[in-house]
C-alpha cells in the first residue's frame, strides 16, 4: 500500500540523509517512476523533503542525516501518520509506523502515537448505500490526536441533543464515518453525518491505557451484527446473481454452497440474515421468481402475505366487453367503437 511506502521512504531518508530515486526504487522494489512519485508526494504534503539536482544530488530530509526526525514539525508528523494510519491493518505498515513513532522527538511522540491510531478503515459492508465523507471528519481527527473534549450537537433517531464527549477514534465503513467516544453515559458510537454542530473545548482527557481502536470497533461490529442477524433464511439463487445478493446483504450473506443438491443447474444455496422475518421478506420480495426461500416458514409466510397485498393493489383487470361512451352537448353519444347515436329515443 502507498501509505507504508511513504513511511518507508521517510525512514530511508532519515537513516541515509540523502537518497536518489533509483536507490529508493531498488530498496523498496518499485519502479523508478513510482519512487519519484512517492518522493514528490512527501514534499507536496509538507514533509521537509527536497531534491538536489546535479552530480552527487538526490533527495534530502531538511537538516541532513540524523538519528531522529526533528525536521518534522508536530503538524507534519500528524499529517503523515493520519495518511498512513488507515493502512495500519497491514502488519508491515504497523511495523513501519512503530519505527517512525520511535524515531520522533519525545516532545510530541505521544500525539504522534495518537495520530497513527486515530482512524480505522473497515472494508466489510453493512449493506447500506455509501455516503459522502462529512466535512467534520478532519476537525474530529484533530480532536482525537490532541485529546481535547468536544461538544456535539447530535441528531439521533430519538431526537436532538447536546453532549460533551472524549473522542477516541474514527472509523470509515461503507464510506460512512463513525466516532467512538467516551461520555457521561459510557462509551458510544456516533455517526458523523448526524453531527449538526461541533465545538472543541479547552479541556483535555487521557485515553484509557487498554484502549485499542481496531479491537473496540470489532466489538461494536459484533454487537451490531448480533442485533442485525437474529433471523436467517436459506435461499437458492442462480450463481450469476450471487454477487448482487452479496452486495445487498454484505456480511449477512454466508454459508454459500454451489451445485445445489447435485443438480448441476448453476444455482447456489446460501444463508441470509436480518433482524426479523418481515425485514428479510421485504428485501427479498423484489427478487420475484429469481430467488426461492427454502426456509424458514415465517419468511415464506411474510413473502406470501406481501404478494397478496401487491396483487390487491396493482392487479389491473382487463376491460373485456366494455363499450365506453362519450356524451356530447347535443345529447348524442360516441362509443369507443366510433359509432354515434342520437340522443332521441325511437
Q: In the block, which residue shows the cell 356524451?
A: 327
Interior CA angle at 209 toward 141 and 153, to 5°? 35
CATH topology of domain 2-116: Arc Repressor Mutant, subunit A (1.10.10)
DSSP symbols for 228-255: HTSEEEEEEEEGGGHHHHHHHHGGGEEE
Work out the percent of the chain whose per-residue pLDDT is above 90.
27
Whole-angstrom Cα distance, residue 265 to residue 239? 9
Paired with 326 in beta bridges are 334
Q: Distance of alpha carbon 244 from its chain centroid, rounded?
A: 18
Tell me how long the chain is: 346
Environment class of 174 (CB within 10 Å of its CB; exposed 0-12, middle 13-18, buried 19+): middle
Residues of the chain with CATH 1.10.10.10: 2-116
CA distances from 150 to 59, 116, 163, 206, 217 (A): 41, 20, 8, 14, 20
The dihedrals phi and psi of 149, each to the nearest 5 degrees, come to -65, 150
Convert the pLDDT of each residue in 178-197 to its tens digit: 999 999 889 999 999 899 99
d(CA 59, CA 21): 8
Question: Does residue 323 contact residue 333 with C-beta atoms inside 8 Å?
Answer: no
List the one residue out of 172, 193, 189, 192 whose CA is nearest residue 123: 172
Alpha-carbon distance 34 to 48, whole Å?
19
Q: What are phi and psi of 176, to 5 degrees?
A: -100, 135
* CA nearest neighbour of 24 among 44, 42, 8: 8
Q: Which residues share a beta bridge with 162?
A: 153
Share of the chain above pLDDT 70, in %: 63
Distance between CA atoms of residues 181 and 192, nearest Å: 12
Residue 199 pLDDT more than 90? yes
- Class of the domain covering 229-314: alpha beta
Residues 167 and 161: their CA atoms lie apart, in Å, by 17
pLDDT at 167: 93
3-state secondary structure at position 153: strand
114 contacts: CB under 8 Å, gap ≥ 6: 144, 145, 146, 147, 207
pLDDT, one tens digit per residue, over 60-102 is 866 543 434 445 555 555 555 555 555 445 555 555 555 555 5
pLDDT, the chain, mean: 75
The pLDDT assigned to 66 comes to: 46
Average pLDDT over residues 149-160: 91
pLDDT tens-digit map of 31-55? 888 888 888 877 766 666 777 766 6
**Dist. CA 14–CA 70, nearest whole Å:** 10
C-alpha 321: how far from its chain's center?
57
Read off the pLDDT of residues 269-303 as tens digits, 9 standing for 90 and up.
999 998 899 999 999 999 999 999 999 999 999 99
Residues of the chain with CATH 2.30.30: 122-212
C-alpha span between 30 and 314 (Å, rounded): 61
* Whether the predicted model's global pTM rises above the 0.75 cut: no
Given a cut of 60, whether residue 128 has pLDDT beyond it is: no
Q: How is domain 122-212 classified at the CATH fold level? A: SH3 type barrels. (2.30.30)
Longest dimension (CA), the chain: 116
- CATH 3.30.70 residue window(s) in the chain: 229-314
Q: CA separation (Å) from 3 to 82, 85, 93?
A: 10, 8, 8
Amino acid at each position: 500500500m502507498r501509505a507504508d511506502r511513504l513511511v518507508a521512504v521517510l525512514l530511508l531518508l532519515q537513516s541515509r540523509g540523502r537518497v536518489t530515486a533509483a536507490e529508493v526504487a531498488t530498496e523498496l522494489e518499485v519502479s523508478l517512476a513510482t519512487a519519484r512519485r512517492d518522493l514528490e508526494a512527501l514534499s507536496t504534503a509538507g514533509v521537509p523533503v527536497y531534491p538536489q539536482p546535479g552530480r552527487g544530488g538526490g533527495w534530502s530530509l531538511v537538516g541532513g542525516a540524523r538519528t531522529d526526525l526533528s525536521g518534522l514539525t508536530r503538524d507534519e508528523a500528524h499529517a503523515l501518520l493520519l495518511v498512513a494510519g488507515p493502512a495500519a491493518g497491514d502488519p508491515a505498515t504497523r511495523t513501519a509506523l512503530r519505527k517512525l513513532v520511535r524515531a520522533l522527538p519525545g516532545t510530541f511522540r505521544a500525539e504522534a502515537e495518537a495520530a497513527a491510531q486515530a482512524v480505522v478503515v473497515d472494508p466489510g459492508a453493512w449493506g447500506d448505500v455509501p455516503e459522502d465523507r462529512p466535512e467534520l471528519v478532519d476537525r474530529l481527527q484533530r480532536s482525537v490526536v490532541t485529546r481535547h473534549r468536544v461538544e456535539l450537537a447530535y441528531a439521533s433517531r430519538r431526537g436532538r441533543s447536546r453532549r460533551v464527549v472524549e473522542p477516541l477514534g474514527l472509523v470509515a465503513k461503507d464510506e460512512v464515518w463513525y466516532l467512538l467516544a467516551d461520555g457521561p453515559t459510557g462509551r458510544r458510537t456516533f455517526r458523523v453525518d448526524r453531527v449538526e454542530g461541533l465545538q472543541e473545548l479547552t479541556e483535555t482527557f487521557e485515553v484509557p491505557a487498554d484502549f485499542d481502536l481496531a479491537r473496540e470497533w470489532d466489538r461494536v461490529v459484533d454487537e451490531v451484527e448480533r442485533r442485525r442477524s437474529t433471523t436467517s433464511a436459506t435461499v437458492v439463487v442462480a450463481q450469476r446473481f450471487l454477487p448482487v445478493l452479496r452486495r445487498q446483504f454484505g456480511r449477512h450473506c454466508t454459508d454459500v454452497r454451489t451445485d445445489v443438491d447435485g443438480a448441476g443447474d448453476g444455482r447456489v444455496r446460501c444463508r441470509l440474515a436480518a433482524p426479523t422475518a418481515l425485514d428479510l421478506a421485504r428485501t427479498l420480495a423484489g427478487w420475484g421468481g429469481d430467488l426461492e426461500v427454502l426456509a424458514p416458514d415465517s419468511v415464506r409466510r411474510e413473502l406470501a402475505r406481501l404478494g397478496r397485498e401487491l396483487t390487491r393493489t396493482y392487479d389491473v383487470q382487463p376491460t373485456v366487453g366494455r363499450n365506453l361512451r362519450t356524451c356530447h352537448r347535443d345529447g348524442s353519444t360516441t362509443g369507443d367503437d366510433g359509432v354515434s347515436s342520437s340522443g332521441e329515443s325511437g
